[in-house]
Amino acid sequence: MLKNDRYLRAALSQPVDKTPVWMMRQAGRYLPEYREIRAKAGDFMSLCTNPELACEVTLQPLRRYELDAAILFSDILTIPDAMGLGLYFKTGEGPAFQKPVRSKSDVENLFVPDIFKELGYVTDAVSLIRKELDGKVPLIGFSGSPWTLATYMVEGGTTKNFGLIKGMMFEQPQLMHQLLETLAQSVTAYLNAQIESGAQAVMIFDTWGGVLSTQNYQGFSLNYMQQIISGLKRTHDGNQIPVTMFTKGGAGWLEQMVESGADCLGLDWTVDIDQARARVGDKVALQGNMDPCVLYSNPQRIKEEVADILAKFGNGCGHVFNLGHGIHPTIEPENVKAYVDAVHQLSEQYHD
């Protein structure tokens, strides 16, 4: 039995007593206790693939802050790694693949992983986290979107101009669709496995959808996220499973996103939440959307920014407070407390 279901209710546009709050990347490098565990693990993937350590770092921020949800500690690139592409991390440069996907044969050699076999360390971590949470708050599972995963797979790592992935999209659109279809099937199976293992909500991170044109966003990103959402388990053990979809840089497409089937849409900080709410009405909940860099300021300024966002959303249901993207690793932990406490203290007035 959940002691605090505020996040789940808000994501489903149901009444709450206060606006729930959590942070993308809330388990991470800004916490000294995380850095200690990371050093113990030896490298990032060793941390991700150890269910006990992944559980520990998932729970760390909940010991410091009155957050309304936990999010599984993992990485979006576990799926392509399970496909045999050889994920590794370059110090200071981010993720890279030993076998990037560049040709027709590369795409045809990809397969939908056996989730419980190839990614059992993730589902084991989900089960362990649920047990250790003991109903304190709900657990969010997640995956990257097919377009975002494909970006890393084709580029071979991080990129600034997206030349390789967009080159394939424009020159070989059918090949790109074949790649995205395999990824969509994989993500659907992956998220359903997380739900079966104990995740009480799931989120799709479309980190790079915003680099596309409107037409290509619809065809190469949104369509595949819609396919995933239509294939997800929306109830488990008698409970609804909220689905959140977040396209960074996607504020111009909110009306199209509403039709995706998601319960909640994530917003970055480039759109005012009052305008977003006016555009989507009561069709979906909204998650967001404070600029993470506000957390570099002082507690009073943080409180003012929280107050402004809460006031812009206004009265009623369907707001999950979050940052507009992941927390930066050089943020002071004390400022996170100011942020979380401000949301709870200031939001009661907006709920009957």
Q: Is residue 24 part of a domain?
A: yes
Active-site positions? 25, 29, 38, 75, 152
Tell whether 29 is in a known binding site. yes
**Are 214 and 253 a contacting pair, CB within 8 Å?**
yes
Q: Domain limits at 209? A: 6-350
In 3D space, the residue among 241, 137, 243 whose CA is nearest the CA of residue 197 turns out to be: 241
Rounded distance, CA 310 to CA 281, Å? Answer: 16
Strands 139-144 and 201-206 come out as parallel
**Annotated binding residue 28:** yes
Residues in the chain: 352
pLDDT over threshold 80, residue 214: yes
- Is 75 annotated as a binding-site member? yes
208 falls within a domain: yes
Question: Is 0.95 surpassed by the pTM of this model?
Answer: yes
**Mean pLDDT for all residues in the chain:** 97
**At 140, which CATH number?**
3.20.20.210
Determine the pLDDT at residue 93.
Answer: 73
Tell me the backbone φ, ψ of residue 263, rounded to 5 degrees.
-80, -30
Q: How many helices (H) and strands (E) does the chain have?
A: 17, 11
- Report the domain count for the chain: 1
Per the CB < 8 A criterion, the answer to whether 225 and 146 are in contact is yes
Is 228 within the bounds of a domain?
yes
Cα–Cα distance, 67 to 58 (Å, whole number) = 12
Residue 48 lies in a domain: yes
pLDDT the model gives residue 262: 98
Contacts of residue 294, defined as CB under 8 A and 6 or more positions apart, other chains included, come to: 301, 302, 305, 339
Determine what percent of the chain falls in helix, strand and coil, rounding each to the nearest 5. Answer: 50, 15, 35
pLDDT of residue 161: 94
Residue 218 lies in a domain: yes
Residue 298 lies in a domain: yes
The terminus-to-terminus CA distance of the chain in angstroms comes to: 24
Is it the case that residue 132 has pLDDT exceeding 90?
yes
Task: Indicate whether 189 belongs to any domain.
Answer: yes
Q: What is the pLDDT of residue 244?
A: 98
In-domain check, residue 1: no
Whole-number pLDDT of residue 1: 84
